[in-house]
Structures are given as structure tokens and as C-alpha cells.
Amino acid sequence: MKKFITIIFLLLICSCTKKSNYDYTIKTIIEENTNTVIAINYPITNIVKINKELKKYVNNTYDTFLKNYNTISYLDKKHELNIDYTYYNLDNHYISTILFKHISSTDQSLVLNEVFNYVYDIKKQKQIKFTDILEDDEKDYIKSLICNLLVDKYSSSIDISKIANIDYENLNFSFSGEYVNIYFEGKSIANNNNILEINIPLTYFEKLQNLNIKKNIENVTNYIEPNINYIDIEKPVVALTFDDGPSKYTKEILETLKQNNSNATFFVLGNKIDDYSDTIIEMYNMGNEIGNHSYNHRWLTKLSEEEQREQIDKTQDVIKKYIGTSPIYLRPTYGSVNSKLRKNTNLEIILWNVDTKDWKYKKVDTIINNALKNVKDGSIILMHDTYQRTSEAVKILVPQLIKDGYQLVTISELKEVQKIKNKLNEKR
């Protein structure tokens, strides 16, 4: 008689106020080279002018970084490039995008943080500067307010003499919710390489007062019937895992899994979840598992304990906001683990033993073969739901694995099956 285990997921649906923004997607570039690691996330909008400037900045940064640091002279240490973003559409009047660039070396002899912003006036169809949102009679007041906020928040680190020389025309700024956020590179007004940020309510700006400002509403969580998975413990199991998402390709992968009555584990980046909240909710409600892959793909083992916790905890919180529970698994960025990271998190660290190398190879057949030639009972397969080629590979790989006798399960299900098999083997 066949033995089955029943995996029950108590699923939660969140009635969330922030829906996915359909006027942009997120472009993701994740690479690990001989001397460099690269993680870039930035928005691709439906406005050509914005895309052109963002892509130009990213490409120039990427090319310069590789030219400078992926060379034989840096064989003794690696360098990291990380580009993160914020995006906000303010009442279909302004689109603000801002990119945060971080470059550093393993020994921290180099630390560089820079900001690039692009604020676009949809009605006038042009980029605007900070002074464009100021009326003439409020310019002096706002400038004075900025100086006071900087002194109040960063009094111990800023150079007061440099504040007088602030270039207000070219300030880096963005919109978010009810605020205008203003950013300064530490090297310009302080004695560090950090990014300094202050926030001024939109209502302080006369030109912004009549815009429809989004208000935050508490999430409402409702219980629905459990989703039940039946797993035959006499059959081999494998766990498909996907890193670096969600993305515009994730729903295609979810649909393939659903059509084949299979589940997977998605190790997500926290900075993408608000923008793909409906995908996260659908992912969870279908019985898939969600894991933590840091907030914006910083190289975790290189960070301080405080920075590690921030990367992990921010992601835990934003996931819980939408599905009502937090992950129990962490997949470290670049698969890099050290004792500091293990001691600094209570999440179980999950790596992999089958690498499809879908981030490296663009041919679907190559990705599929990399999985099939190494898979066995209990395998954890690494993929990335940020590429169309991965979605196409999954459409072939999943049915083939099932045809070969495998059951596709989550990490938790895999562990539970292995635990039961070990107990049965002990009794024999």
C-alpha cells in the first residue's frame, strides 16, 4: 500500500492597498564574475525619455565598473556593484525614479555611494528639476528648511560650511506617498560616503497641494480554505527554486506549475514585492513557498551584522504585509555563507545542488539539460524567474521531470519527505 503525506498550507489573502504598477516593469541583472559581483534592479517604464536616461546611466555604470575592476590586477579581492531604485507615480502628473549606486571592495578599502534621479512631468512631457516644483515666493523658505533638516538629522557628520554651497537646481529628489524626499551624497556635504536623506511633506509645496495624495490603509487579512498537496513518499521528490524575483515572468512560471499540479520555492527580493504584490499573493495562495533572498541583493557576507539584519528583516516585513506570515528560509546572495551570517539570522539557510546556470546560458535546451543531467531524488534545483528563457525552460522541464517520475515540491515539503524516509529507513 502506498504511503502518502499530506502537506496543508493555511493560506491568507491580503486586501492590499498598493497594487502592481502596470506602467513599468523591473529590469534585473545579476552576475558573478572572476573579480566582481553585480546586482542591478531598475524600472523600465512606458515613457521612452525616462527609459533612455535610466538605461544610459546603468549601462555606463556597468561598463565602467567591469572595465575598472574585472581585471587581473584585482585577483586578490572582489568588488561589488549594486544598483537599487525607487519609483513613484504621483497622481499621473509626475513620475519620479531614483537609482542608488553602491560600489565597494571586499576589504572595504573602497566604498562609493551615488544617486541618480529623473523626475518626469507627464503633462509637460519633460524632465523637471527640483526648483521646478517651487513657487518663486517659497524658494527661500524651502532652502532654509532643507538646511535646518540636514543640521537636525546629521549634525554630527555634516560639514556646515558645505551646506551653504548646495546646488538646489540639481538636487536629487523623488516623491513617495505624502513626501518629497531629498538625497545628498555624503561626500558632497559630509565626511562620509553615505547617502543622506531628508523628507518634506508635499503640502509644503504650493504646486503639489492639489494633487491626489495616496493614503495608507491598513491591510485586512482573511482566512480561506487550506490548499492540500498529496505527496507519495515512495516516489522521488525535487525542489525547484527561483531566485531574484518577482518579475514579469513569474506569473508565467506559476501558471506552468499550476497546470502540472506542482509547487516550487521562490526566494524573493524585498525591494520588488510592493511592485509585484499580486504576484506574491497568487504565488502563496497556489501553495508555493516564499523565501528570503535579501532586500536588494547586497553581498550579505561582506556586510556588518546590522546591515545584514536590515537586509533580511526588511524583506521579512514586506512579505508578511501581503501574505500574513514571514519566510523561514534564507538563500544568501551569490550563495555566499560565513559564520557571521549564520549566527546573525534565525532563518535556515538553503543553498542548492543542481545549478541550471540560466543566468549565464541563453539557450533553453542548455538550461534544461543542466537540470536533467544532474537531478536525483532530493535535489534542490537553482533557477531565476527574471528571464524569459527560464520561463520557457520551465514549460519543458516541469513536465519532463514528472514524466521521469519526480514530484515537484517546496523546500518544506522536501524536508518533510526526507524526514519521514529517514525514520522509515531506521525502522527497517
DSSP 333: G
Provide, rounded to the nearest whole percent, the portion of the chain with pLDDT above 70: 90
Residue 370 corresponds to which cell in the numbers above? 543542466
pLDDT confidence of residue 23? 75
Q: Same domain, yes or no, for 407 and 287?
A: yes
- 320 with 268, same domain: the answer is yes
Do 209 and 242 lie in a common domain?
no
Residue 16 confidence (pLDDT) above 50: no
Q: Are residues 226 and 210 in the same domain?
A: no
Does residue 376 sit within a domain?
Answer: yes
Helix axes 250-259, 277-285, angle to 10 degrees: 20
Picking from 165, 199, 216, the residue at the C-terminal end of a domain is: 216
411 band by pLDDT with thresholds 50, 70 and 90: very high
Q: Is 94 inside a domain boundary?
A: no
Question: Do 331 and 274 fall within a single domain?
Answer: yes
Task: Look at residue 185 and tell me whether its pLDDT is greater than 60.
Answer: yes
Q: How many CA atoms lie within 13 A of 333 on its CB side?
A: 28
Is residue 246 pLDDT above 80, yes or no? Answer: yes
Q: What one-character-per-residue DSSP string does 269-300 give?
A: -HHHHGGGHHHHHHHHHTT-EEEE--SS---G
Q: Is the residue at 45 inside a domain?
A: no
Length of the chain: 428
Residue at which a domain ends, from 216, 240, 256: 216
3-state secondary structure of 141: helix
Round to whole Å and give the CA distance between 330 and 349.
5
**Mean per-residue pLDDT, 21-42:** 88
Q: What are the b/e assignments for 143-164, b being 16+ CB within 10 Å?
A: eeebbeebeeebeeebeeeebe
Q: Worst-scoring range by mean pLDDT, 22-36, 335-349, 393-407?
A: 22-36
Residues 244 and 295 in one domain: yes
Give the rounded percent of residues in the chain with a pLDDT score beyond 90.
Answer: 75
Measured distance CA(52)–CA(71) in Å, rounded: 29
pTM of the model: 0.85
Alpha-carbon separation of residue 101 from 62, 168, 172, 185 (angstroms): 10, 21, 13, 11
CA distance 286 to 256: 12
Better-predicted residue by pLDDT, 129 or 425: 129
The cell numbers describing 36, all together, are 566582481
Provide the pLDDT confidence category of residue 178 given band limits of 50, 70 and 90: confident
The stretch 47-64 carries a mean pLDDT of 96
**pLDDT given for residue 71 in this prediction:** 82
Let me know whether 163 and 296 are in one domain: no
Which amino acid type is present at position 150? L
The two beta strands, 179-185 and 172-176, are: antiparallel
Residue 297 lies in a domain: yes
Task: Please tell me the predicted confidence (pLDDT) of residue 234.
Answer: 87
Identify the domain boundary among 216, 244, 260.
Answer: 216
Select which of 79, 84, 243, 358 is catalytic: 243
CATH code for position 344:
3.20.20.370
Which residue segment(s) compose the domain that 347 sits in? 4-11+220-427
User: Which helix (DSSP H) or strand (DSSP E) does residue 188 occupy?
Assistant: helix 186-189
Predicted confidence band at 220 (pLDDT cuts at 50, 70, 90)? Answer: very low
Q: What is the mean pLDDT of residues 298-302?
A: 96
| Over residues 195-199, mean pLDDT | 94
Task: Give yes or no: residues 232 and 193 share one domain.
Answer: no
What is the CA 238 to chain-centroid distance, rounded?
A: 25
DSSP string over 136-201: GGGHHHHHHHHHHHHHHHHTTTB-HHHHTT--GGG-EEEEETTEEEEEEEHHHHBSSSPEEEEEEE
Closest CA to 381 of 269, 232, 227, 236: 236
- Give the type of residue at 113: N
Mean per-residue pLDDT, 109-115: 93
Question: Per the domain annotation, does 334 fall within a domain?
Answer: yes
CA distance 88 to 160: 31
Which pLDDT value is given to residue 162?
83
Q: Could you tell me the three cell numbers for 18?
A: 498598493
Residue 280, strand partner residues: none
pLDDT of 75 over the 70 cut: yes
215 has a pLDDT exceeding 50: no
| pLDDT, average across residues 271-278 | 94
pLDDT at 193: 86
Predicted pLDDT of residue 219: 44
**Predicted pLDDT of residue 213:** 63
Assign residue 150 the CATH number of its domain: 3.90.640.20
CA-to-CA separations, 370 to 332, 357, 384, in angstroms, rounded: 22, 7, 14
Q: Is the pLDDT of residue 10 over 90?
A: no
Mean pLDDT of 358-367: 96
- Residue 102 annotated as catalytic: no
Same domain, 190 and 239: no
Mean pLDDT of 70-83: 86
| Residue 179, domain member (yes or no) | yes
In degrees, to the nearest 5, what angle opens at C-alpha 101 toward C-alphas 97 and 103?
Answer: 175
Give the range among 156-170, 243-257, 363-377 with minimum mean pLDDT.
Answer: 156-170
Q: Indicate the pLDDT class of residue 214, thresholds 50, 70 and 90.
A: low
Residue 203 lies in a domain: yes
Residues 6+ apart with CB under 8 A from 180: 133, 173, 174, 199, 200, 201, 202, 204, 205, 208
How many independent structural domains does the chain possess?
A: 2
Residues 6+ apart with CB under 8 A from 153: 196, 198
235, 331: one domain: yes
Q: Say yes or no: 177 and 291 in one domain.
A: no
- Mean pLDDT calculated for residue range 124-133: 95
> Does the annotation count 243 as an active-site position?
yes
Would residue 78 count as lying in a domain? Answer: no
**Average pLDDT over every residue of 71-96:** 89
How many other CB atoms are found less than 10 A from the CB of residue 58?
A: 20
Per-residue confidence band for 209, with pLDDT thresholds at 50, 70 and 90: confident
- The DSSP secondary structure of 397-418, one letter per residue, reads HHHHHHHTT-EEE-HHHHHHHH
**Active-site residue (options: 102, 293, 297, 384):** 384
Q: Are residues 176 and 212 in the same domain?
A: yes
